[in-house]
Structure 1
Amino acid sequence: MAKAKTSYVCTECGAEHSKWQGQCAECGVWNVLTEIVVEPAKASAAAPRHAGYAGAVDAAKVTRLASVAATAEARSETGIGELDRVLGGGLVAGSVVLIGGDPGIGKSTLLLQMLGTIGQRMRGLYVTGEESLGQVAARAQRLGLPLDGLEGLAETSIERILAEASAGKPDVLIIDSIQTIWTELLTAAPGSVSQVRESAARLVRFAKQTGTSVFLVGHVTKEGGIAGPRVLEHMVDAVLYFEGEVGSRFRILRAFKNRFGAVNELGVFAMSEKGLKEVPNPSAIFLSAHAQPTPGSAVMVTREGTRPLLVEVQALVDASALPNPRRVALGLEQNRLAMLLAVLHRHGGAAVFDQDVFLNVVGGIRVQETAADLAVLFAVQSSFRDRALPDKLVAFGEVGLSGEIRPVPNGEERLREAATHGFSLAIVPKANAPKKPRIGELEVVGVDRLGDALAAAFQR
């Protein structure tokens, strides 16, 4: 009997090596190579000719791009507005979407609700590899979904799944989860690098050839990334992550990759007994309802994807008993906080080099844009001086190392969002200030230096 051929695959980047070594030659990470068994070439050659699937694949031909019709992707709404926003406007035929998140955060619940809402217009198939059909049906009843339009399949073999999907021809196919799917062509255990990669490749090929929208549920590692080979995220069209604070009922669905829409788009849901409910006004949940102005609190207008959001940032500045004062930032890059504190000392006259500085963005939002700089410095100065900012004040703007206030994109849209929520004063970069000093009841003050911004905020 011929000896089985083995190979070593990197769990980080998916690169293959002929022999084991301590470091991956492609990505440079140590101790990430795992051994897999590779079937003979004649076995893999028969893979595409499985009954009911890709039996006769036409040979690819070179085509001039000018002859390809430049038509926009036809989209189908899912009936869940926040999900449609994150997807870029709805489902695209033939797209493959990977959804990751912590256990129990609501991935399966959201996808089951989506099948319930599109059941009257489109045909969906829910493939479960972790639960029985009875458990799925019980969850659907608990969510109040109509069972007549829902179809399920409890199967983990990719060959049988594709055979059933080819026969049933669903418009939407959900795989829960990709780590449980295995193929008969490989002898590795389900969830291994080779099984996940091969199964995902077969599903992507099926989606592109049949126009079926495929959703893959992915497990996450303890570091927060999707388990399996990193190449899995490159194979799919969109990668969505479910995020949520421990003990909070709010869930955030964020797009980290999307070939059909904006990256970093945000969808906000609230978990209830009847499943996930959309939050139509997410700015309201990220603002704390203080009875009176509180020192160390400032409101900024950040932008997530295509939507402006009002978010509260809180700072606590206190005398440090340590030789090296602490700098702790939750929801903001810590190195940028250290840089902003140096700018505040040099151009704002606030010496916090002997103070512990703690910063938190309310609601678990992670702000990655520089438009939050001005609001961060307002919160730090407010806590350091123990003086509250004026009520209904909002701010945004990038702060440079020389103390200048730089403009940020979509300034007018941010101001309109603040005016909609009843704010009365906005301190913004002068280049973002409109020609008229007011937008409705909102007074807009344009500044070009950090000293002018601090004066406008604390001398009222």
Structure 2
Amino acid sequence: MAKQKLQYVCQNCGAVTPRWGGKCEACNAWNTIIEENPGAGIGGASKRMVGKGRVMELVPLEGETPEAPRILCGIAELDRVTGGGFVPGSALLVGGDPGIGKSTILLQAAALMAKLGRRVVYISGEEAIAQVRMRAQRLGLADAPVSLAAETSVEDILTTLEADEPPHLVILDSIQTLWTSQVDSAPGTVTQVRTAAQAMIRYAKKTGTTIILVGHVTKDGQIAGPRVVEHMVDAVFYFEGEGGHQFRIMRAVKNRFGPTDEIGVFEMTGGGLREVSNPSELFLGERKANNPGTAVFAGMEGTRPVLVEIQALVAPSSLGTPRRAVVGWDNSRLAMVIAVLETHCGVKIGANDVYLNIAGGLRIAEPAADLAVAAALVSSLTGAPLPQNSVYFGEVSLSGAIRSVTHTQARLKEAEKLGFTLATAPEATQDNSSGLKEITINSTADLTGMVARIAASAPQREA
């Protein structure tokens, strides 16, 4: 009998090595390498396959492609993120910090779908049935016809699902708790997570059932386990939010059936998560007038325009190296904007402590926020409040020029809808302002002009 070949897999990054070591050479983590059997698991093969394959049918690139059918869950924001509803036979991966509300939003979606006549199965691997029932009672969903189970064995789950008519939706909370007896490793390891996900995805493709896998996240905010799981599923969603804010954001980072970078906004209440149809009004609900250091940024999150307040504080520093504290934005981009203000606009800001915050716990990644950040910094430094009815958007280049950004029409329409009458934006924005009667475009070609206007409105300081 041939000796069974083993391999050593890092449980942190999934790297495979031929021998054991105390430190993983790929991610530099210590004591994460575990011995595993590469041929075990559902779909695994310990022997090399022998024989010829079958001839595949090759088809032309052009042809009829029917649109994938959709199943609405009843939560408009969740349907928006998924691209218009769940696609039958698809596999979705939802990740987020502990306690952020992943189980709550999925239980709400499961209950609404069940009330619409869909067969829904909710399998909990972390909580007992009594705990899930208590959550359903607290949310007022105890009367929903959802089939509930508490199980972690992949074989038992598949046998139970195959014993009856395939359900429309199966929720597995979470993928890290599932295990199969065909893999000789502990639940939550790389091999167990990969094998369990592969088995459930195969079931989804075979029966047309939509599978939602809940995943834990690491300290870096990434879904724990092998990255191959994110490639195996059809869509990956991250549920984000700050512990001190009631806002929660569902963000799509991968979607084979819809747009990526789409977001859905929710508000955490005592009765569960409530969808927010107009997030701009919510993020700007507590603005104060004539407050220096605040600017309203007209941004885009996927296909949705979002207006959010950017807060900056420039204070004298008592340290040899001034402090830079950023929440919700890129620290490197803040350093670039400060350098451009000093070099091309003569704004002496580098020796001060700089604090930057995106109100509401939102995270912004697009470069169009450069102009709003620069305006907030200059306003805080000079003490000049920005106009209460003005929004800002535009990318700042290293030469100090203001570059145009995409979706200017949608940004301006959102600002006009919320009562803003002035927009400071790149010069090319004038070409996209047709049909907007209540808002005036204050075009600026470089950062120097905007800084001069803000400095001119600053109050005179006593000598």
Q: Report the TM-score, using the length of structure 2 for normalisation.
A: 0.90
Unaligned 5+ residue runs, structure 1?
48-57
Displacement of 1:310: 0.3
Change (3 A) 1:111 1:43: closer
Write out per-residue CA displacement over residues 25-70 of structure 1, whole angstroms, 9 at most, x where no aligned residue: 6x554547522332766996689xxxxxxxxxx9793432548641
> What SS does the aligned partner of 2:268 have?
strand
Check conservation: 1:8, 1:33, Cα contact below 8 A: no
Deviations 1:234-255 (A, max 9, x none): 2111111111111322211111
**204-213 or 309-318: bigger deviation:** 204-213
Q: Which amino acid aligns with 2:7?
A: S
Give the % identical residues. 47
Give the CA deviation at 1:355. Answer: 1.1
Q: Does 1:75 align with 2:70?
A: yes
Counterpart of 1:63 in structure 2: which amino acid? L
Q: How far is 1:155 from its partner?
A: 1.4
2:222 is the alignment partner of 1:229 = no
Do the aligned partners of residues 210 and 148 (structure 1) sit closer, same or farther apart at CA in structure 2, a change above 3 Å counting? Answer: same
* 1:106 pairs with 2:101: yes
What SS does the aligned partner of 1:439 have? coil
What is the DSSP-based 3-state SS (H/G/I as helix, E as strand, rest coil) of the residue aligned with 2:342?
A: helix
- How do 1:132-147 and structure 2 match up within 5 A? 132-145=128-141, 147=143
Return the alpha-carbon distance in structure 1 between the equivalents of residues 337 and 44 of structure 2.
Answer: 59
* Structure 1 match to 2:246: 249
Alignment partners' CA distance in 2, 1:293 and 1:141: 46
Is the 1:438–1:444 Cα contact (8 Å) retained in structure 2? no
- Note the residue ranges of structure 2 that are not aligned, 5 or more in a row: 47-52, 458-463
Give me the whole-angstrom Cα distance separating, in 2, the residues matched to 1:41 and 1:178.
Answer: 18
Match of 2:7 in 1: 7
Aligned pair count reads 449
Residues 359 and 205 of structure 1: is their aligned pair in 2 closer, same or farther, counting only changes over 3 Å? same
Tell me the residue number matched to 1:93. Answer: 88
User: Which SS does the other structure have where 2:320 is aligned?
Assistant: coil
Q: Is residue 151 of structure 2 the alignment partner of residue 152 of structure 1? A: no
Deviations 1:356-415 (A, max 9, x none): 111111111111111001110100000110111112111100111111110000111100
Is contact 1:24-1:33 (8 Å) kept? yes
User: How does 1:193-212 map onto structure 2 within 5 Å?
Assistant: 193-212=190-209
Is the CA contact 1:128–1:154 (under 8 Å) kept in the aligned structure 2? yes
What are the within-5 Å matches in structure 2 for residues 298-337 of structure 1?
A: 298-337=295-334
Structure 1 residue 201, shift from structure 2 partner: 0.8
Letter in 1 for 2:414: E
CA distance in 2, matches of 1:360, 1:377: 13
Secondary structure (helix, strand or coil) at the match of 2:6 reads: strand
CA contact (8 A) 1:343 1:401 kept: yes
Cα distance in 2 for partners of 1:64, 1:204 equals: 26
Paired residue secondary structure (1:310): strand
How big is the shift at 1:12? 4.4
Aligned residue identity for 1:74: P
Instruction: Pick closer, same or farther for the CA change 1:343–1:44 going to 2, 3 Å.
Output: closer
Report matched runs for 1:40-439 at 5 Å. 61-66=56-61, 69-119=64-114, 120-145=116-141, 147-168=143-164, 169-287=166-284, 289-434=286-431, 439=436
Residues of 1 paired with 2:440 and 2:55: CA distance? 61
CA distance in 1, matches of 2:98, 2:41: 39
- Measured in 1, the distance between the counterparts of 2:62 and 2:189 equals 42
User: Partner amino acid for 1:199?
Assistant: A
